[in-house]
Structure 1
């Protein structure tokens, strides 16, 4: 039986084949599978916690504003600050870097206290807790994120003071 004869590869085909092999080697392509993404760093949990906290504060403000419309002039600017905080924090969040949970910041369902004084006390308490949490977060974050968290925490501390009737 005669052996099948294939024409010798052309010089162009040999060059292209060699180039493809070199390119695959340089770019790290393998037939084993794709490399796993590195695990998220500690800042991811700090950032997602801050995002969730801002979403919870916004939900509390919205519940109080729905229940106590007479407080709108006083509370709407504070609510708007938290909306801005959330937007800035979310710009720092890279989807897929969290630890397996859904994209952060679903707004929880919140019920406002029945009296205005209790509603203001609840907001004041939430603002104080948030300010304290941002200070703790800033210690665990890299300098850029720490600065942002510290600024947000300072704003929240100012909100708490404002809600207490201070300047």
Structure 2
């Protein structure tokens, strides 16, 4: 028997033995979500809640609708800009069962319809603006720039809403 034949037989036997291994392979661990996608999803949820809060305030105070609508429109524009940065297939449904998005410091706490006052809007704007620096610390440069603009707008809203009376 030649050395080449002997080595070929040994290699084939080794492959056959490896294929018959009784050690089951571990299932692949689910990929952890991209931190930027998690942050974006959290930011989008917070903005959706803020837009909703403005909608409830307009419904509760029709006399203030003309004054509040520009604020709501600006938040809707922020929401659109944030959604544009979300990767295809990203969103609230992309988190594995064992992982949940981090709580968003930009999301105002759930409000009852009666709590949709101008003061509640100011508080929500204040909380959202104050959370932006921490969010920017973990965000990509492009998202940080957008968050800085959004935070500045929210800070101005706090002041401007002080001029709108309940």
Q: Same fold (TM over 0.5)?
A: yes
Residue of structure 1 equivalent to 2:96: 100
Residue of structure 2 equivalent to 1:164: 162
SS in 1 for 2:32: coil
Q: Deviations over 1:60-90 (max 9, x none)?
A: 0000101100111110000000111111101
Structure 1 unaligned blocks of 5 or more: 1-34
Structure 2 unaligned blocks of 5 or more: 1-27, 102-108
SS in 1 for 2:41: helix
CA distance in 1, matches of 2:87, 2:111: 27
Residue of structure 1 equivalent to 2:146: 148
* TM-score, L = length of structure 2: 0.66
Residue 105 of structure 2 is aligned to residue 91 of structure 1:
no
Q: 1:132 to 1:109 in 2, by over 3 A?
A: closer
Q: 1:37 to 1:88 in 2, by over 3 A?
A: farther
Residue of structure 2 equivalent to 1:72: 65
Residue 131 of structure 2 is aligned to residue 133 of structure 1:
yes
Q: 1:36, CA displacement in angstroms?
A: 8.1
Q: 1:134, CA displacement in angstroms?
A: 2.0
Q: Deviations over 1:10-48 (max 9, x none)?
A: xxxxxxxxxxxxxxxxxxxxxxxxx98853222222111
Count of matched residue positions in the alignment of Structure 1 and Structure 2: 125
Whether contact under 8 Å (1:50, 1:134) holds in the other structure is no
